[in-house]
Structure 1
Amino acid sequence: MNYDLIVIGSGPGGYVAAIRASQLGLKTAIVERESLGGICLNWGCIPTKALIKSAQVFEYTNHAADYGINVASSSVDFPAVIKRSRGVADGMSKGIQFLMKKNKIDVIMGTAKIKKGNVTEVKQADGSIKEYTAKHTILATGGRSRELPNLKQDGRKVIGYRQAMNLPEQPKSLIVVGSGAIGIEFAYFYNSIGTQVTVVEYLDNIVPLEDEEISKALFRSLKKAGINILTGSNVESVDTSGTGCKVQVKTAKGTETLEADIVLSAVGVTPNIENIGLEEVGVKTERGKVITDPYYKTNVEGVYAIGDIVGGQALAHVASAEGITCVEKIAGHHPEPINYNNIPGCTYCSPEIASVGYTEKAAKEAGYEIKVGKFPFSASGKASAAGNKDGFVKLIFDAKYGEFLGAHMIGANVTEMIAEVVVARKLETTGMEIIKSVHPHPTMSEAIMEAAADAYGEVIHL
């Protein structure tokens, strides 16, 4: 079969690229070795949010009396929680199947490998091999749970994110190694449903990519919820010979032994670049990632790469944006290169955190003279009415020109609020323009306007 484009991998980068290509008139095929939608849809973004929603519902019922509602009792049916999560993921995967048919994209199931001469070789489940040709090939093979030498995953006692959302029974105790978005979300979920959770973070702050004030606020909130957090600490070894796990952790105070039923390794993702033909074709890589130009073209004519295997943030929405940009360039359009400093990051624990742009520290290091404004949700009428007064919005502006440098939020539903800032920064909106944009009352989003006003000495409700 001859195609204009073959996409290898059907995650949020691959399937979005395939759909956009079809819209632009390219004869397109997509190759997938497991399930349409990739890791994000089947074992990442979507099913974890389903688990977190179950945890939130459990928390609602446990605190129903705070809202004047009497609930006799509540308990967690762990297998049912897992089943619901898997059902949500399965439904979304079927939705991708529909989109492939709707957009007349050929779906080829199997394991792909690129070869010279614009050939893609696909090994099918029965072992047979078929070859396809295309003028253009996009590699969108994603990533997998990263393994540390001293933290080898066995899939039973030392697990990655995939096993963490499909355990046969709820563990009584869990050690989470790593406090990025994946680690914190699982720590929140399991703690909320009654598992004793310890988080071990190598760096001095949890969610270390976030603004330090956000990190410290989340630390306090999670500690208050009962999660044990060890920062500046390193897992040296894990003994799984007994019924559970004995974990040697080096802290500032010395080495201590922690015990838990299960250890979750959440120390990042590793790009899937092995065994896909890169060396055979001559595609250049650096530090485990494929090298591309701003439109995701590799050094090999007709071969492109997007998503977790290239240099941008390993996030679903980044992969989707890269796929669209890449395909539009292939089709002869003139897309604008992605600004990686205007990519929102979200962590869906409770309280949620969301951010975009410069942290306060990074803005100062970049040489900006800054104005900083903050507004706490404790002063928000909507937050008070909803019973979600924890957290705040922090905005950072360039003092000279009013440029919107960054936003950092912690609180209920802030992952839904951050898009306003992304759009504002894209449009080069200034602080004063945010202040003079009337926000609806009562809403949580008013905190953005109020934080901007605070930066310029015009805040009303503080």
Structure 2
Amino acid sequence: MQTYDMVVIGAGPGGYVCAIRGAQLGLKVAVVEREHLGGICLNWGCIPTKALLRSAEVFHLMHRAAEFGLSAEGLNFDLDKVVKRSRGIARQLNSGVGHLLKKHKVDVIMGAARLDRPGRVRIDDKVLESKAIVLATGARARELPGLEADGDKVWTYKHAMSPPRMPKRLLVIGSGAIGIEFASFYNALGADVTVVEVMDRILPVEDAEISAFARKQFEKQGMTILEGAKVAGLDRSGPGVVAKVEVAGETSSLDVDTVISAVGIVGNVEDLGLDTMGIRVERSHVVTDAMCRTGVEGIYAIGDVAGAPWLAHKASHEGVMVAELIAGGTPHALDPDTIAGCTYCQPQVASVGLTEAQAREKGIDVKVGRFPFIGNGKAIALGEPEGMVKTVFDARTGALLGAHMVGADVTELIQGYVIGRQLETTEEDLMQTIFPHPTLSEMMHESVLDAWDRAIHF
């Protein structure tokens, strides 16, 4: 039996960050991981998908060479090499996490952990005791009846990242970040892509204007988008897949060779002993308070297993917060409205805070500013004139309520508004800020000015 100040179950972006921060604060820490350091995000999610998408982006730009006065002929791609690069980046970062844990003297124990009782974790024949246990077990792809993945004709995100072939006719079920990113990737490489979304618009968590703008861009690129639609079944008996699609009460058949199911995630709560511990689980996620406490003394839950938003940076922040709490500190609770969401499709989508509709539903009198990429010199010079920046303010106080973007590099730009939200900035602060020229960031300034009818360049 080994005794620790903190035991973290799961070494994803929440777990390993929590472990390192705990060690920095002088705690004796162990992290237990059943599969691979870095979790899904580093190995099969955030990072390797961005490597794939970068290859697709470069390929897309190569086809536009003539626009830039360049010449490129005989353009092609090697999918195996594209995937190999992505997997190599994942392995590199996996090794890096191991180095960081070793550097901070965190004990790494590989295996499946189970809670024996409060304060005790069992991994095969090992027993760990700790007054503080942090659940950071993450989540996995949700599978709906009849749409289960088989790795051949029907894929989850994991299959789509290391595909057995290049799809020719692809159906993507679900238009959240995962679905749209894979739709964008395979569309850029030449697949005939159809996206089916059960909600009334794609990217349903985004501001409605941003979703509508993104849809038009996807359709310009050749995608077929079906909103308010449902895949009622898949017939896999033939050489391909015949999907039964219901739209507005009418059913039609769609012939494809590959399906990607991206209909959400479920928390990894099984076989942890949570039921015997009295830890509440609702809809596959551990129930916690604002400080990630489960209700059972000394047991915390962070990241995807603790529910939405299912974002790596949210998990990491919670990991730091919980480690500081366990070490005797007084950290602030996480504010969901300061967490940015980013989707790395083409064009990119990014947002933070309230949408215009959410703000109005709260009864807030709002001022809304917009600025198009076509009005920005840097965007035109880059050959990226399609996009929009939208800002939402409280008309009475000038508080920045939300910011929403679609276009080139907006996943990098959004952090400016995130900092603004964190510092409780007002429209006056942003108006008085000097943005460098020529940059895409100038559109952020102009959008703020537009909310008060002061935009200069549009």
TM-score range, shorter chain: over 0.9
The answer as to 2:52 corresponding to 1:51 is yes
Match in the other structure for 1:240 = 236
What per-residue deviation string (whole Å, max 9, x for no partner) do you get for residues 200-223 of structure 1? 000110000100100000000000
The answer as to 2:221 corresponding to 1:249 is no
- Which segment is superposed worse, 240-249 or 206-215? 240-249
2:208 to 205, 209, 212: 212
Shift in Å, 1:312? 3.3
Q: Which amino acid aligns with 2:21?
A: R
Q: Which amino acid aligns with 2:344?
A: Y
Match in the other structure for 1:113 = 114
Q: Which amino acid aligns with 2:178?
A: I
Shift in Å, 1:78? 0.6
Distance in 2, Cα, partners of 1:203 & 1:346: 19
The answer as to 2:275 corresponding to 1:274 is no
Mapping 1:175-190, distance limit 5 Å: 175-190=171-186
Shift in Å, 1:286? 2.3
Match in the other structure for 2:288 = 292
* SS of equivalent to 1:91: helix
What per-residue deviation string (whole Å, max 9, x for no partner) do you get for residues 239-259 of structure 1? 111111111000126101111
2:323 to 327, 347, 354: 327
Match in the other structure for 1:401 = 397
Q: Which amino acid aligns with 1:14?
A: G
What per-residue deviation string (whole Å, max 9, x for no partner) do you get for residues 321-353 of structure 1? 111111111111111110011110000001100
Shift in Å, 1:438? 0.3
What per-residue deviation string (whole Å, max 9, x for no partner) do you get for residues 398-435 of structure 1? 11110101000001000001111111111111112111
Distance in 2, Cα, partners of 1:180 & 1:94: 30
The answer as to 2:100 corresponding to 1:99 is yes
Distance in 1, Cα, partners of 2:30 & 2:379: 47
Q: Which amino acid aligns with 1:141?
A: T
Distance in 2, Cα, partners of 1:301 & 1:290: 14
Q: Which amino acid aligns with 2:9?
A: I
Match in the other structure for 1:75 = 76
* SS of equivalent to 1:420: helix
Distance in 2, Cα, partners of 1:292 & 1:276: 16
TM-score by length of 2: 0.98
The answer as to 2:443 corresponding to 1:447 is yes
1:154 to 140, 144, 150: 150
8 Å Cα contact 2:141/2:265 also seen in 1: yes
The answer as to 2:377 corresponding to 1:381 is yes
* SS of equivalent to 2:392: strand
Shift in Å, 1:299? 1.6
Q: Which amino acid aligns with 2:431?
A: I
Shift in Å, 1:456? 0.8
* SS of equivalent to 1:12: coil
Q: Which runs of 5+ in 1 are unaligned?
A: 124-128
* SS of equivalent to 1:175: strand
Match in the other structure for 1:126 = none
8 Å Cα contact 1:312/1:318 also seen in 2: no
* SS of equivalent to 2:252: strand
Shift in Å, 1:117? 4.3
Shift in Å, 1:150? 2.9
8 Å Cα contact 2:384/2:408 also seen in 1: yes
8 Å Cα contact 2:118/2:297 also seen in 1: no
Q: Which amino acid aligns with 1:259?
A: D
Shift in Å, 1:140? 0.3
8 Å Cα contact 1:136/1:302 also seen in 2: yes
8 Å Cα contact 1:343/1:422 also seen in 2: yes
Distance in 2, Cα, partners of 1:207 & 1:421: 20
Shift in Å, 1:381? 0.4
Shift in Å, 1:287? 2.7
Distance in 2, Cα, partners of 1:323 & 1:245: 42
What per-residue deviation string (whole Å, max 9, x for no partner) do you get for residues 3-23 of structure 1? 111100011000000010000
Q: Which amino acid aligns with 1:308?
A: D
The answer as to 2:18 corresponding to 1:22 is no
Mapping 1:130-209, distance limit 5 Å: 130-209=126-205
The answer as to 2:222 corresponding to 1:221 is no
Moved over 3 A (4+): none
* SS of equivalent to 1:335: coil
What per-residue deviation string (whole Å, max 9, x for no partner) do you get for residues 89-119 of structure 1? 1111011011011111111011111111411
- Which segment is superposed worse, 305-314 or 193-202? 305-314
8 Å Cα contact 2:134/2:299 also seen in 1: yes
What per-residue deviation string (whole Å, max 9, x for no partner) do you get for residues 31-68 of structure 1? 11111000000000001000000001111111111101
Match in the other structure for 2:88 = 87
* SS of equivalent to 2:245: strand
Shift in Å, 1:168? 2.1
What per-residue deviation string (whole Å, max 9, x for no partner) do you get for residues 128-184 of structure 1? x32111121100000000011231222221111011100122111110000000000
Mapping 1:420-439, distance limit 5 Å: 420-439=416-435
* SS of equivalent to 1:353: strand
Shift in Å, 1:288? 2.2
* SS of equivalent to 1:409: strand
8 Å Cα contact 1:345/1:356 also seen in 2: yes
TM-score by length of 1: 0.98
Q: Which amino acid aligns with 2:157?
A: Y
Q: CA RMSD in A?
A: 0.9
8 Å Cα contact 1:312/1:340 also seen in 2: no
- How many aligned residue pairs are there? 457
Distance in 2, Cα, partners of 1:312 & 1:450: 32
Distance in 1, Cα, partners of 2:388 & 2:267: 35
* SS of equivalent to 1:73: coil
- Which segment is superposed worse, 328-337 or 248-257? 248-257
Match in the other structure for 1:63 = 64
* SS of equivalent to 2:5: strand
